A and B are shown apart, each in its own frame.
Chain A
């Protein structure tokens, strides 16, 4: 936030540098079950972001002292590939990644029925392969789909979006330039079914009214993205059903011959 620049981020027609309207999302594509070994996985392309999420578990929590006798622990690990950003990122978790991992873990845990899996851990790995602003929310959105793919019981799919302030205007889903040179960024994630807010951060400078406008805008977008998550899951599992039926009928045909 707040780096000085001469770039005009919103033109005279009210359009943003990538041509979007203030409340317009970048294109989002979600795929389910993209990895073989993981218990659940998902891939998301969100603007220029390319992010993989994998879920392992529930499995015995290790080391043992981390086990909770009444519920599962949720461990999300947000990691950026060294080549995912313009300037090579030194591999391994930095302080930013540790904080993001923490808030993502907490947001996912808010939706998971953790009390059903005492002494276990549910491990969520989020790998940012290509970054283009908004990676924590895109990663969280994919992670939640991966949890569903792993068959983990949840209140609902956690989903989010960011809104912020650019050239004095509240805009949705900031891109890299807007994130760098804008005035505020507010990532938000919700549980759509209950409308609870499970992740919220903010940096920059906004009035009370602007914060309200940003939260409202991000929430509305999150509800829309929630449908994309469900469609992605249906695309895998409905297709799976059709294939199975086809296989069965083929078997029948073969036997008949």
Chain B
């Protein structure tokens, strides 16, 4: 399709979606705070220390956790290290290109990382091998396989699921295996703004016409542990407050449904 006809189709689609969304309706019939079906298959990759295959509607993300001993950061000598990376591989969408991480994959990885880190999900202090010298490095790798919108939530659910079934591979290095020590279970909820309405878990079609995005990570105490506003649109203060309240409720539900916590 030429760029011109693309623009026209885009314009028509946006007009249509904005029109129906002004009544709070969505193209796939969901309510404004309803997620697409979520299916998580834990331990999908047995070579990984922990893993999860996440299907969020037609979006599919595979998250794997690998661990190995390494040096701690100088400013946190008595803590393990968490490293999160995301790859938007060309297989997942015609718009993804091979090559080094771009700003989208970096933002995705950093927002997921922030929810895990700031909620103190992993008890990093229990991942010390020799204080100040050797600690466990936790690599969380997010592999996006099929992109149909809302990569942040799909990836975050996958990362949490993978970490919850991670076994620290001590025996590989002459020590003992033990389950990854977990303190908290953060859940992210992402909202897309179309026209003047907010919708959770935007599909690709909805993302394409949304002006702004807001992701909010909450913990099991109903506290906010991370937020990220995205795209070049804006939110009113009331919209932000309302999204925060909803994210606390939705987070509670998802945490129970997906992770039994």
Give A residues with C-beta under 8 Å from B.
1-3, 69-70, 74, 95-96, 98-99, 101-103, 105-107, 109-110, 186, 191, 194-208, 211-212, 215-216, 219
Contact = CB atoms under 8 A, between A and B. Distances in A.
Nearest to B110: A99
Nearest to B213: A106
Contacts, number: 102
Nearest to B78: A4
Contacts of B3: 69
B77 to A, nearest CB: 11
B118 interface: yes
Nearest to B75: A3
Interface in B65-102: 75-76, 101
A223 to B, nearest CB: 12
B184 to A, nearest CB: 10
Contacts of A201: 227-229
A203 B114 contact: yes
Given A110-B232, A208-B244, A102 B103 contact: yes
Contact of B225 (A99, A107, A205): A205
Given A106-B231, A208-B223, A215-B237, 11 more contacts: A2-B120, A3-B75, A69-B7, A96-B110, A98-B103, A99-B107, A102-B107, A106-B230, A197-B234, A208-B248, A211-B244
Nearest to B102: A98
B106 interface: yes
Contact of A101 (B103, B120, B225, B245): B103
Interface string B221-261: 01111111111111111001100110010000000000000
Contacts of B150: none
A204 B120 CA distance: 9
Contact of A99 (B103, B233, B234): B103
Contact of B240 (A69, A99, A107, A215): A215
B225 A203 contact: yes
B214 interface: yes
B235 A197 contact: yes
B224 A197 contact: no
16 contacts: A96-B110, A101-B103, A103-B230, A106-B231, A106-B232, A109-B232, A194-B234, A197-B236, A198-B232, A200-B229, A205-B223, A205-B224, A205-B225, A207-B222, A208-B222, A219-B237
A216 B241 CA distance: 11
B235 A212 contact: no
A68 B134 CA distance: 50
Contacts of A194: 234
B21 interface: no
B118 A205 contact: yes
